[in-house]
Amino acid sequence: MTDTNANTVDTVNSAATAKPVKQRMLEQDIAKGIAIILVMALHTLTITKGAYNVLGGLFGFIMPFYFFMAGYNHRPYRYTYKEIILKRIKQIGIPFLTYSISITVISGAYYMIAEGYTLKNVADSYLTMILTRSFASKVGVSFTKGPYNCIMVGWFIIMLFMASLIFYAVVDFALSRPGRFISVFAGLIIVTMIFAHFNIVLPLHVCEAPAVAAIMLLGALFGQKELLAPKLKWWIIAINSVVAYGIFIVLALMFRGSGFISGGSMWDSSMKEWAVLLSVVFAVVGTYPFVHFCRCLTKTGIVCKALVWCGNYSLKLLFIHGVVQLFICAILGLKPFRMAFFYDENDFRTFYVLALEIAVSVVVVIAIGFFKNRIMKKMKTSSKPTKRS
């Protein structure tokens, strides 16, 4: 009885001293909504290389932003390591396999019929996405641009999942003391820098994962201190945001937006290991002003609701927009995936393609959700025991 009472008292005391679970900020969903639209624009618009460099310079922090916010939402000690990894498998692992295989089959069938591709071409394209382009080329796996472009966004999901395996293993330990945080954060960065320096290429984004985990760790620190919340006076936040974004712009101009988090390619930059540090800096100085700016959009009514919806369904929009673009362009007689850095002229028709792509992708996501709910409802109904007369 004594042990039971002591355990009960400890439980009550820990519950009393535990911090209440923070509500999710609306502005971060708005930011994710804007970010996914920018990603879709990057994969769709054909503009001159100069214009692309300007836009890329203004928004070159978008991919680090996603990783940073994945860490920001971490709540210490809510789950065991096993529980959180199983949760991540359910959240991103299973949807990734479902969507990536489905889209490969759909796009592969199109290219086999329209372009005469073989089943091996399609399978190798999927394998390239899983292994990463750098490693696939190293082991002799080649890809064809058509099917690969429809599923190339899978690199982001793989990188996020591999980084999560590291992040959740160290985050609570690192956040417990400043010294621990510094040593763990520095160690993760150094590991990826070593991979980059010696040009080591491994599958499944194993080389990039430690640095991405470090970015997530920075996000978790910001979340612990609530540094993206409106805790400070508005003018202090405004000054901090201007300074942070100014640092980003200067670095983007100096190094032309270099960083290793770009399209799943490991080291596109001549900076090699220093590109790792640049991506980490971009994550902080880009995310801080971006999220605080998005707070200004929380009172915009239907615009706010639309962006929040896009933010909440950003993963699904990321998955399906490539195959949606493929069929829109096929119907309109345009070449899909004409990204800006391959062209020397503007093609304003691609702005119409982007608008259609967003609209159709939204409809597809809504339709998938509708049919999924119908199926789940029928399964629940059929599983209920029937009453005997």
Q: By the 8 A CB rule, do 337 and 148 touch?
A: no
Does 232 reside within a domain?
Answer: yes
Residue 319 has pLDDT above 70, yes or no: yes
The size of the chain, in residues, is 389
CA distance 297 to 286: 18
Nearest CA to 309 among 91, 34, 88, 99? 34
What digits encode the pLDDT tens for the residues 93-127?
999 999 999 999 999 999 999 999 999 999 999 99
Measured from the Cβ of residue 41, the count of other Cβ atoms closer than 10 Å reads: 19
CA distance 329 to 188: 42
Does 338 reside within a domain?
Answer: no
Does 69 reside within a domain?
Answer: yes
Residue 386 has pLDDT above 70, yes or no: no
Q: Is 266 helix (H, G, I), strand (E, B) or coil?
A: coil
Q: Which residue has the tokens 């200067």?
A: 250
Take residue 6 and report the two structure tokens written for it. 């002591």
Give me the phi and psi of 187, to 5 degrees please.
Answer: -60, -40
Does 56 reside within a domain?
Answer: yes
Q: Work out the pLDDT band at 339, boundaries 50, 70, 90.
A: low
- What is the extent of the structural domain holding 156? 22-310
What digits encode the pLDDT tens for the residues 46-64?
877 777 777 767 788 898 9
Q: By the 8 A CB rule, do 331 and 363 touch?
A: no
Does 339 reside within a domain?
Answer: no
Class of residue 18 by CB neighbours under 10 A (exposed 0-12, middle 13-18, buried 19+): exposed
Residue 2 is predicted with a pLDDT of: 42
Left, alpha or beta for 81 (phi > 0: left; psi -120 to 50: alpha)?
alpha
What digits encode the pLDDT tens for the residues 160-215?
999 999 999 999 999 999 999 999 999 999 999 999 888 888 999 999 999 999 99
Q: By the 8 A CB rule, do 74 and 215 touch?
A: no
Does 2 reside within a domain?
Answer: no
Q: By the 8 A CB rule, do 248 and 286 touch?
A: yes
Does 362 reside within a domain?
Answer: no
Does 255 reside within a domain?
Answer: yes
Q: By the 8 A CB rule, do 203 and 131 touch?
A: yes
Number of domains comprising the chain? 1
Class of residue 27 by CB neighbours under 10 A (exposed 0-12, middle 13-18, buried 19+): buried
Query: Is-above-0.75 flag for pTM?
Result: yes
More confident residue, 266 or 179: 179
